[in-house]
Structure 1
């Protein structure tokens, strides 16, 4: 009987450690697009190369750091995106 209880306790500990590890992995990774330089017109590494080098997962976050006076971010509808129309962001 004592062996069964010890095994059950051991199994419970292993399961809890596995659950804790899985929860830690689900937090995702933070990617800073452009690295130290941020989102600029002439990056040291081409953005396409960077996206092929990294493997993005669910819960990852992409951060776009840029100089406020040198750039802008607009949210457009799919049709406007496809036609490069930024008149109604």
Structure 2
């Protein structure tokens, strides 16, 4: 299942504005995937990413990833991530 989520990550990297066309690999619902990249520093193009399904609350967290130019990012350090990113079950490699 982790590899299916990596495919979702790759789709987001390729086209960050096309998330509404992605299907959750867990619950199979379309249009329920959301994400945020967190840069290491405000102008950095490297960081981490949270990707989750709003319907089944499953997803992945990846660290040390490139951040696409038009991707959704949280750069304001005063933002509490728990207020923006919902709690979800992280899928890990088998």
The answer, yes or no, to whether TM exceeds 0.5 is: no
Of structures 1 and 2, the larger Rg is shown by 1
Structure number with higher strand proportion: 2
